Amino acid sequence: MIVIASDHAAYPLKVSLLKYFDKNKINYLDLGTNSLESVDYPDYGIKLGKAVMSGKYEYGIAMCGTGIGISIAANKVKGVRAALVTNEKTAALAKEHNNANVIAFGGRTTTLKEAIKIIKAFNKAKYDPRHQKRIDKITNYEAEK
């Protein structure tokens, strides 16, 4: 199961993705927002990051206008490795090299067709453990705080 959250700027894309998930029987938890009313992306990025770190979800999808702000916010949660992805290649590399547990993209910069391709590429990719020492450095730094 995946967890998904967006701010108001990405709400229309999120609604379209949820319809796609329902049609394709993809299990998800939607953490909001649930309208076009202005909200603050950090609230949703942090909420999503905490959900991912609960261990109940395979990964998270975070969206705001560009994906930048919500990915920064999600990365403030210890253990989250949120990657801003812009296409299939960056999505695959986020998993293969960084073992990302959150992918982020922009509701104003990503079409539904592109978002679906990004998600499929991320799902298909496999983490390459030869990169583990780099991830360990991040994890160790987080532990120092």
Q: Is 121 marked active-site?
A: no
Q: Is 64 marked active-site?
A: yes
CB within 8 Å of 31: residues ≥ 6 apart? 3, 4, 5, 44, 47, 48, 51
Q: Determine which one of 29, 88, 97, 98 is catalytic.
A: 97
Q: Determine which one of 9, 46, 51, 64 is catalytic.
A: 64
Q: Count how many Cα atoms sit within 13 Å of the Cα of residue 17 in the half-sphere of its side chain.
A: 31
What stretches of the chain show up as alpha helix (H) in DSSP? 11-23, 41-53, 68-74, 88-98, 112-124, 132-144
Instruction: Give the strand pairing for 59-64 and 82-84.
Output: unpaired
Residues catalogued as catalytic: 64, 97
